[in-house]
Structure 1
Amino acid sequence: MARDKATLAAERASGAAPPEAQARLHGDSGMPLKQPAAWYASPEARHVADNIVSFQTPAGGWGKNVNRTGHLRQKGEHYAPIDDDPSGGVVVATKGWNYVGTIDNDATTTELAFLARVVTALPGAAGDLYRKAFDKGVSYLLNAQYPNGGFPQVYPLQGGYHDAITFNDNAFAQVVDLLATVAARQGDFAFVAPELAARAQAAHARAIKVLVASQIRVNGQLTGWCQQHDALTLAPVGARNFEPVSLSTSETSRLLKLLMELPQPTPDIVAAIDAGTAWLKRVAVRDVAWGAKGENGRFLEARPGAGPMWPRMVDIATMKPIFGDRDGTIHTDVNELSKERRDGYGWYGTGPASALAAYEKWKQKR
């Protein structure tokens, strides 16, 4: 972090007023990944790539919630937009230092995937600038990885829950998927140098190892994963006030899919998958529905025959749903939450059903 801060400070040393930080983006980041291959050589795509290169931090990562179709970074401009701080307030990025280099909200992994498509569409000297930024970005992820294989949410380390191994919102899974693609050197990633691919492969192996090691065991039985795990002990840890220590069905589902995609799963990986899917089946809820937003917000409603669906968080001790509010209180009834939190967080969902469906197909191939 010191290097990133020093670089920005040096840019501002001339005395010129720094440009106003970008406002936080709500919506599309402007980095489409499913356009025809030829589009990535277009002026439109190159402008997005130029924006990505210009906002790359000295450490090699990117901030989150940024419109990549916007202006290129100006000298002295902060690398990250205005964003929420850990306490739930707002920090102006030109004064604070928050999420400057992160894997949260698809950041860094999306920039790298977009750059890879542009590099592939621009072989030779035309793509050198983007290739250099790509290599630096992959090295950023490799440098961010803990020795045990985990990844923090923010790097260089920011402190607090950001330093935990972050499964939340699929951050860890997206990094691991990207590393596997880089290591394979196929398709849009065929240009990757063998040395970088080898480093990515080793990092991928470490990540899978820590993933299996951190699966939560309750009364001797493997279950799922928390949204965050301690970087040293691998114990489950909380994050924001409304994200207590718990078992998370959403993150567990994505991590199980990640493990099921491995071509040659070892016995411990097979055991992790079997146990994780069995746990998802046990904590599914039925005969209730997560109502639509109304004047008074969303509520959990009785609805015979409905389901299955899954609570986002499950108490490790009781295996019952739990819910957190902005004030740090923990509830067993989602309807007790403030309207802002009931409406502002995905407390229930059906996503785990896709993991269970994938499991049935995976079993047939074993």
Structure 2
Amino acid sequence: MNRGVIVLLAAAPAAAHGAVLGYMTPAQPLTEARIAALPASEQGAWRGYLARSRAAMDADKAALAAERAALATVPPAPPHGGGDGGMARNRPTAWYGTPEARHIADNIVSFQTPSGGWGKNVDRTGPVRQRGQHYVSFDGKESWNFIGTIDNNATTSELKFLARVQAQMPGAAGDEYRKAALRGISYLLNSQYPNGGFPQVYPLQGGYHDAITFNDDAFANVLQVLLEVANRRGDYAFVPETVATDARAAADKALQVLLASQIIVGGVRTAWCQQHDAITLAPVGARNFEPAALTSTESARLLMLLMLLPDPSPELRASIHAGMAWLQKAALPGDVWSRYYDLNTMRPIFGDRDRSIHDDVKELSEERQKGYGWFSNGPARAKQAFEAWTRKP
């Protein structure tokens, strides 16, 4: 397979309505065996990445174990947080210098992992982390999951909030926040794959978490932060030139893998899957009900981000036009989009917890029918942005 471009066969005849179309195949993790199958010239970079990831996880675990060694009682996990976790970014500028904002920033600094990232779904308005307390919240038994991650806006949200707070605190008062932000930026740089992609969880957790993740705008959020850091403007003016240079290089690699992973069907560029294989860039599934498929919402977000680039290359311009052509073709009546579209037929598809794939949402179990967002009008914003973008000189 040519790992530079994903090519699929031309549209196949649609399956009979009501039939199970197939079953989702789980994504493959990044392993030594898969790396060994690469050309010899590529193996070194991937082996080094995997070794660094494992060393980082070992260090994260060792740090927590060392904190707990002398404790009679381990503190409970931090409280679960929904929405923005308290890290609002729409407050008046001066608010980010208030005690309330500083408390949130102190919570963020205290829960930063030794690797430099953060877990997801933690209430950042809560108490700062206690010695020996886990980095993430749990619904049940304690486990080592999503430590750290870019899922559910994690890590990028913490970085943006720290940057906003430190901007209101020049001098020594903001040094702690700037230091944590720089560690967070290094975390993103360290998590980047040799080909420019980003896994959902780093240090690597395995399974579909190792895939390059566009789902929930994870990749887009990281790319946006890297571009802002590279420009050294506004909240990121404090970033050293060397870090900005590294961020620019990482952003350029991310744009290249974004181009390379745009799915081609019948010789025509279309959109992206929620996840792409870390090595082959092939579209892959994630959870049992999340098949490998063209996705509308994440693709729209990626296209909108590309439209914000000040001087996109001819290749990026072509990618935007092709992606928007697919998005407009995929629209359902009423300017609504299905979450997933079959990679060959381009028809809406839906997944259930038993990994079965259907062409009718009503065929799913009741729990999945009601427990997942199968349709959205969100991509309409990309249409509006595209109209404005095409009018630019």
Matches of residues 188-199 of structure 1 in structure 2 within 5 Å?
188-199=235-246
The ranges of structure 1 where at least 4 consecutive aligned residues each deviate by more than 6 angstroms after the TM superposition are: none
Question: Whole-Å Cα distance in 2 between the matches of residues 193 and 215 of structure 1?
Answer: 33
Select the residue among 60, 74, 77 that pairs with 1:4. 60
Q: Which SS does the other structure have where 1:330 is aligned?
A: strand
1:184-208: per-residue Cα shift (whole Å, max 9, x none)?
1111111111111111111111111
After superposition, residues 22-171 of structure 1 pair within 5 angstroms as: 22-82=78-138, 91-92=140-141, 95-171=142-218
1:229 maps to: 276
Q: Match of 2:368, as an amino acid?
A: R
**Which of 311, 314, 319 matches 1:267?**
314
**CA offsets per residue over residues 136-177 of structure 1, 9 Å max, x none?**
000000000111111110000000000100000101001111
Q: Shift of residue 339 of structure 1?
A: 2.1
Q: Which moved more, 1:16-25 or 1:197-206?
A: 16-25
Which among 196, 219, 227 is matched to residue 180 of structure 1? 227
Corresponding residue for 1:363? Answer: 390
Cα distance in 2, alignment partners of residues 112 and 360 from structure 1: 32
Distance 2:83 2:376 in 1: 21
Give the distance between the partners of 2:294 and 2:72, measured in 1 at CA: 49
Q: What is the distance in 2 between the residues matched to 1:185 and 1:349?
A: 35
Q: Report the residue type matching 1:355 in the other structure.
A: A
Match of 1:246 among 266, 288, 293: 293
Q: TM-score normalized by structure 1?
A: 0.90
Deviates more, 1:217-226 or 1:22-31: 22-31
Give secondary structure in 2 for the equivalent of 1:322: strand
Worse-superposed segment, 356-365 or 231-240: 356-365
1:221: Cα distance to partner? 0.9
**Partner amino acid, structure 2, of 1:192:** V
Question: What CA distance in whole angstroms lies between the structure 2 residues aligned with 1:51 and 1:23?
Answer: 12
Q: Counterparts of 2:124 and 2:353 in 1: how far apart (Å)?
A: 31
Q: Which residue does the alignment assign to 1:300?
A: none
Count of equivalent residues: 337
Among 334, 337, 344, the alignment partner of 1:317 is: 344
Structure 1's unaligned 5+ residue stretches are 84-90, 287-306
Cα distance, 1:352 vs structure 2:
1.4
For residue 28 of structure 1, report the CA deviation from its aligned partner.
4.1
Per-residue deviation at 1:11? 0.8
Query: What is the CA-CA distance between 1:15 and the residue it aligns to?
Result: 4.0
> Quick one: distance in 2 between partners of 1:28 and 1:192?
25
One-letter amino acid matched to 1:12:
R
SS in 1 for 2:344: coil
- What residue number does 2:302 align with? 255
**Cα RMSD after superposing both structures:** 1.2
8 Å CA contact 2:81–2:124 kept in 1: the answer is no
Higher relative contact order structure (alpha carbons within 8 Å, sequence separation ≥ 6)? 2
Distance 2:377 2:116 in 1: 36
Per the TM alignment, residue 24 of structure 1 is displaced from its structure 2 partner at its CA by 2.8
Displacement of 1:22 in angstroms is 2.3
Between the aligned partners of 1:241 and 1:208, the Cα distance in structure 2 is 29
- 2:330 matched to 1:308? no
**Distance in 2 of aligned mates of 1:257 and 1:48:** 30
Q: Give the secondary-structure state (helix, strand or coil) at the position aligned to 1:121.
A: coil
Match for 1:8: what amino acid?
A: L
Distance 1:31 1:309 in 2: 30
In structure 2, relative to structure 1, the CA distance for the partners of 1:357 and 1:239 (3 Å cut) is same
In 2, Cα distance between equivalents of 1:31 and 1:120: 15
